Amino acid sequence: MKSSFTYQRATTPAEAVALLAEKGAGAKIWAGGTDMTLHWQQEKTKPTACIDIRDLKELDYIRIEGDAIRIGALTSLATLERSADQHHVLASLSEITKLMATPQTRTLATVGGNLCNASPAADLSPAFVALGARAKIFGKDGSRDVAMFDFFQGVNKTALNGAEILEEVTIPLPSDGEIHVSYRRIDRTVVDIALVNGSAAVSVGSDGVISKVGFGLGAVAPIILDASDASAELEGTALADVSIDKLAAVAATAAKHAKPISDIRASAGYRQDMVEIMLRRALEDTIKNHGGTI
């Protein structure tokens, strides 16, 4: 039998946090509700209280401020999808968003809700990890921020501690040169969750040298993996010196971090093989977007 729960609507972030503290461990935040509704219907969660934060319009925005892109937690996936003309990184995120669910769902679902659901197979999460994004978290003691890689703590588990909400995702932009990100995934149909997915982000300075590389590996572990040791293999390399063989070697190093499982959707061996191929292709995409020839 599905659980019953109380319903309250918060009007400020502080009120939302206060209600979470008051209602205790069974309290759940309602943003777009697309994941929470499904979990409730399938009895994966049994909330005792539902705190609706849809009125917090101060958390619904996309801004480019100096050296960062800031995305409010209540920004809908549809809004992110329409942001492509604001920055080429947002254009890449827009393309990822188009792969997610249906247009109707994207109108309701929020960026923050998608991240807080903490699915290892989520589409946006690998890109945010690869981009070195940070999560801004609000609680009774104010705001704190954590690396997106550290935000994911396990399947459907995040760094949110009890009475806290996600406020914002910040994507740092390089002070010199540009950053490009690419996302690859394998699925059965457009609306399926990914069997395996991954992102690569590459920054190239004005001197034509790769200054930073980031990875995000999804659906191959309980959390999104970052494979930072593989990044070091490409950083410091001149764009003109990058070869297919070099990218393949870097992708192979990154893929070694994968710890996939076998389930009804795909075998562990298949996922292991595919993540390496996808990361290589994602790296190729980013190098080409920087103007490299490989």
Select from 180, 172, 171, 129 the least CA-distant residue to 292: 180
Longest dimension (CA), the chain: 63
What Å distances lie between residue 191 and 35, 87, 144, 194, 283, CA to CA?
Answer: 14, 26, 34, 9, 25
The domains found in the chain, sorted by start residue, are: 6-50 (3.30.43), 59-172 (3.30.465.10), 178-290 (3.30.390.50)
pTM, two decimals, is 0.95
What Å distances lie between residue 105 and 129, 153, 155, 191, 253, CA to CA?
Answer: 23, 25, 22, 11, 36
Torsion region of 202: left, alpha or beta (phi above 0 gives left; psi -120 to 50 gives alpha): beta
How far is residue 179's CA from residue 119's CA, in Å, rounded to a whole number?
26
How far is residue 152's CA from residue 202's CA, in Å, rounded to a whole number?
22
What are the pLDDT tens digits along the chain (294 aa)?
Answer: 566 889 999 999 999 999 999 999 999 999 998 887 777 777 778 889 999 999 999 999 999 998 999 999 999 999 999 999 999 999 999 999 999 989 999 999 999 999 999 999 999 999 999 999 999 999 999 999 999 999 999 999 999 998 999 999 999 999 999 999 999 999 866 667 899 999 999 999 999 999 999 999 999 999 999 999 999 999 999 999 999 999 999 999 999 999 999 998 899 999 999 999 999 999 999 999 999 988
